[in-house]
Amino acid sequence: MEEVNAKAYLASIRNVKRGVNTRSKILEVISNKPQTLKSIAREVGKSSSCIRRHLRNMEKEGIVRSQKFKGKKIWIVTGLGQKAIEEIV
């Protein structure tokens, strides 16, 4: 059984098991080290478009954010969003 990250549940959309599992994997990958969309997709084993959709949904709720680093867009986990989601769950 896969371990689900409580921060992967979103308040603004319906949470289906597959989506929560994918978001949990994304959070695990970028918690260790901020990464680009392509590198996240490669490590999670999903398409870039799938990962982009999940990142945008998590960004809307403040769980992750993007920033430019050396000319590339990287994704990082935000502490503020994590606390807000933990209070909801």
Q: Is residue 10 part of a domain?
A: yes
Instruction: Mean pLDDT check: name the lowest of 1-5, 37-41, 63-67.
Output: 1-5
pTM of the full structure:
0.83
Q: Is residue 1 part of a domain?
A: no
pLDDT in tens, 55-88: 999 999 999 999 998 899 999 998 765 554 455 4
Into how many domains does the chain fold?
1
Range(s) of the domain holding residue 51: 6-88
Q: How many other CB atoms are found less than 10 A from the CB of residue 89?
A: 9
Dist CA 41 CA 48 (whole Å): 5
Average pLDDT of the chain, as a whole number: 86
More confident residue, 83 or 18: 18
Residues facing 35 on adjacent strands: 75
Q: Is residue 34 part of a domain?
A: yes
Give me the CATH number covering residue 68: 1.10.10.10
